[in-house]
Amino acid sequence: MQNSKIRNMEELASVSGISRPTLSKYFNDPDSVRASTRKKIEAALETYDYRPNIYAMNQNRRLTKNIGIVVPYLADPFFAEIARVIEDLVIEGGFRPILLSSHGNSEQEIENLDSLQSIRPAGVLMAPLGRNSDIAAAERFCAEVPTVLFDNSIGDLGEAFFGLDNLQSIGTIVKYLCNTGEAPVFFEMRTPTNPNAYKRRNAYIETMEKLGLTPQLIQVDGDTWEFEKIGYEGGLDAIRTRQLNTNTVLCSNDRLAIGFLAAAYECGLRVGRGPSYALRVAGHDDHPYARFTCPPLTTVAQDYAAIATKSVEAILSLIESGERAKSRVTTLFSGKLIERVSA
Amino acid sequence: MQNSKIRNMEELASVSGISRPTLSKYFNDPDSVRASTRKKIEAALETYDYRPNIYAMNQNRRLTKNIGIVVPYLADPFFAEIARVIEDLVIEGGFRPILLSSHGNSEQEIENLDSLQSIRPAGVLMAPLGRNSDIAAAERFCAEVPTVLFDNSIGDLGEAFFGLDNLQSIGTIVKYLCNTGEAPVFFEMRTPTNPNAYKRRNAYIETMEKLGLTPQLIQVDGDTWEFEKIGYEGGLDAIRTRQLNTNTVLCSNDRLAIGFLAAAYECGLRVGRGPSYALRVAGHDDHPYARFTCPPLTTVAQDYAAIATKSVEAILSLIESGERAKSRVTTLFSGKLIERVSA
DNA sequence: GCCAAAATTTTACGCGCGTAAATTATTTGT
DNA sequence: ACAAATAATTTACGCGCGTAAAATTTTGGC
């Protein structure tokens, strides 16, 4: 096994009989050296435990092998999941993911960008906070570092954007709800932190009007990322003050819906589809917990595997080309209706 | 504002009139230079945008300012929350947190340790996977890097351990359940990944026997980290095959309980306390979602702020001392009963 | 078995900063 | 105002690796 440890490439060079520059080449890309050489190196690596000093490497390389991943709120399992997929793809691409959460806080988001900038990443994948983001700071960052946005977009920031087609996905579930029962009221935060939320509101209104129906909004207060709490408290209030004049509620996202379901339960309203139920509740996103709510939540699934895959592909090809995108491409994926028992 | 940018300390030295070694001292500890010097440096920093190259710094420092944080499963909001608190404390302590998730996978856990070792962290805070952890690899890591364990312990690995007093916390909720209704059956995974789970099982048995009652276990299959799913499927099975001969179920953790609640709901069993309810269900951990289940989950809260604070304090003092712990100290915190409506 | 092409080695320099020792300047106490 | 203590500067070296250019070796094709 690991006999004596080796401290640097120089020493590895002497014990392996391969010159240091060739070793350097090998570590940057094992396939760039001759097969016979590669074998010798790998044989030496088996007996001598050695790995290049990552700091010395990155100091001298034009570009590091780091890719930053910034998400707005990691305690949200949705972002935890998408971050995990992205991490794996980044590793697969031969890069090193650096995951940072903004914890729903714009100052933290800037700090994250600052912190990333100091490690000179080859590229960054970022899901911005949205409304609260410091746009000027983000712009400055994007000018320095190739950045691909996902989940939600800010202006025309970044080289590309991958997200959800909110008009399609909200349209789908609104039509589904209308076809299977009463038209839905839209339950949302009054001043959401997230641009997607505005798009969903507009998509709801647009779809309802297209169907010849009158859109109705229930807008609740709250400006934190504790969506369940906001949905719960807003839901309690909406139910108790009889703001609902339909038996169908479409929540702007699943986390709000989870809170709303808790409120409905507390008020003794049975949620589900059919004559014996008081209320239908639907969400949006297919949150990891949506299938375990009571009752299981009807929602629209985001194809986050697609979002993750395409985002990573985009940043990798940007890095490989060494250039900036000629034009900012926006790619929107469709949502898929997930019919469960809540609506 | 930022006029011309400065590329290295040398240039900052010339424009600020302060020598480079002094600047180096300043960046390592601003308070180590004279106040007048500090002022001059900070004035220069205002006009010239400069930050030291982190790679060059870390290459030459004996010890980096990095602290690794390894959690078993970041998509679990419990770990996301505790990681967030730890991150903040680490930053407050003047260090740089590097957060890594093992995604419930032992190979990933080793990769994380490997990856951390290559950045030569000053210390590491780690919540190990447990049963699946590669103990030999972890031991080798701990021999190299000062490591403090939290949440769950493996053997006597690491310099210290901070976790929950499962005997106390399970004892508390078992007694509560017995005092307010029928004695609970214990619902858990047959072969949990997590040592805490075994401790909880034993704590349940011990407490029941102390109370002169017969412990009963419902053990469900599953060896992934999808606890809700396992709880749901196991719960469905347990209910349908009539394994319950008490109306009270204590789940080994809240995520299992969330799944179990979904199963109970699907089977039409009303969960709550009182004559009109079919079942009482309690959990353990006070998971962030526990207050939004239907009905809200009675559980035991872990004091994760305390666990986080003490763990960070421990690693910081270890780093400061530059030594290894003389003996491995285990600190267990008490859980606190959270009475909600599910039991 | 020869030659051009490709891979490797040699040589040499630089990256940006940490750090140690010796020297010089500044502050502090009296 | 002076000596002692403290801080800053100068000088010099090293960290581990990237990388470029030139010299050398190996490879593959015919």
Are A53 and B74 an interchain contact pair (Cβ–Cβ within 8 Å)? Answer: no
Measure B82 CA to nearest chain A CA, in Å: 10
* Residues B108-139 pLDDT 10s: 999 999 989 888 999 999 999 987 788 899 99
* Residues A64-77 pLDDT 10s: 999 999 999 999 99
Would the Cβ of A14 be found within 7 angstroms of any atom in strand D? no
- Whether the per-residue pLDDT at A221 is higher than 80: the answer is yes
Nearest nucleotide (C1') to alpha carbon of A13: C9
- Distance between CA B79 and CA B128 in Å, rounded? 12
- Residues (pLDDT < 50) of chain B are 1-2
Residue type for position A327: S
* Residues A20-34 pLDDT 10s: 888 998 998 888 888
Q: What are phi and psi of A328, to 5 degrees?
A: -80, 120
- Distance between CA A218 and CA A205 in Å, rounded? 12
Instruction: For residue A81, give the chain B residue with the closest CA.
Output: B75
Nearest nucleotide (C1') to alpha carbon of B6: C16
Would the Cβ of A27 be found within 7 angstroms of any atom in strand D? yes
Contact by Cβ (8 Å): A23, A38: no
Report the DSSP pairing between strands A66-71 and A123-126: parallel
Q: Does A51 touch chain B (CB under 8 A)?
A: yes
Strand-pairing partners, residue A163, are A332
Q: Note the pLDDT of residue B51.
A: 87
Q: Above pLDDT 70, what percent of chain A?
A: 99
Hey, what are A109's tokens?
């988001």
Q: Among A62, A63, A74, pick the best mutation site for testing chain B contact (most B Cβ within 10 A).
A: A74
CA B34 → C1' D5, Å?
A: 14
Residue with tokens 């690693």: B315
Are A55 and B51 an interchain contact pair (Cβ–Cβ within 8 Å)? Answer: no
Chain B residues within an 8 Å CB radius of A262 = 291-294, 296
Instruction: For residue A115, give the chain B residue with the closest CA.
Output: B96
- Whether the per-residue pLDDT at A325 is higher than 90: the answer is no
CA A55 → C1' C13, Å?
A: 19
Would the Cβ of B155 be found within 7 angstroms of any atom in strand D? no
Chain B residues within an 8 Å CB radius of A1 = none
Return contacts of A321-325, CB within 8 angstroms, 24+ apart: A324/A146, A324/A159, A325/A159, A325/A160
Q: Note the pLDDT of residue B337.
A: 97
Give DSSP secondary structure letters for B44-77.
HHHHS-----HHHHHHHSSS-SEEEEEES-TTSH
Instruction: For residue A296, give the chain B residue with the closest CA.
Output: B262
Q: What is the mean pLDDT of residues A273-279?
A: 91
- Whether the per-residue pLDDT at A1 is higher than 50: the answer is no
Give DSSP secondary structure letters for B3-55.
-S---SHHHHHHHHT--HHHHHHHHH-GGGS-HHHHHHHHHHHHHS-----HH
DSSP B290: G
Chain A residues within an 8 Å CB radius of B110 = none
Nearest nucleotide (C1') to alpha carbon of B61: C18
- Distance between CA A172 and CA A166 in Å, rounded? 10
Residue with tokens 């008009």: A167
Are B55 and A51 an interchain contact pair (Cβ–Cβ within 8 Å)? Answer: no
Q: Note the pLDDT of residue B4.
A: 62
Hey, what are B268's tokens?
């039409």
- Per DSSP, helices labelled H in A103-253 are 106-118, 135-144, 166-180, 195-210, 227-240
Q: Is the peptide bond before B77 cis (omega within 30 degrees of 0)?
A: no
All domains of chain A, ordered by start, with CATH? Answer: 9-52 (no CATH), 66-164+305-334 (3.40.50.2300), 166-301 (3.40.50.2300)
**Other Cβ atoms within 10 Å of A317 Cβ, number:** 13
Hey, what are A15's tokens?
């014990």
Q: Note the pLDDT of residue A204.
A: 97
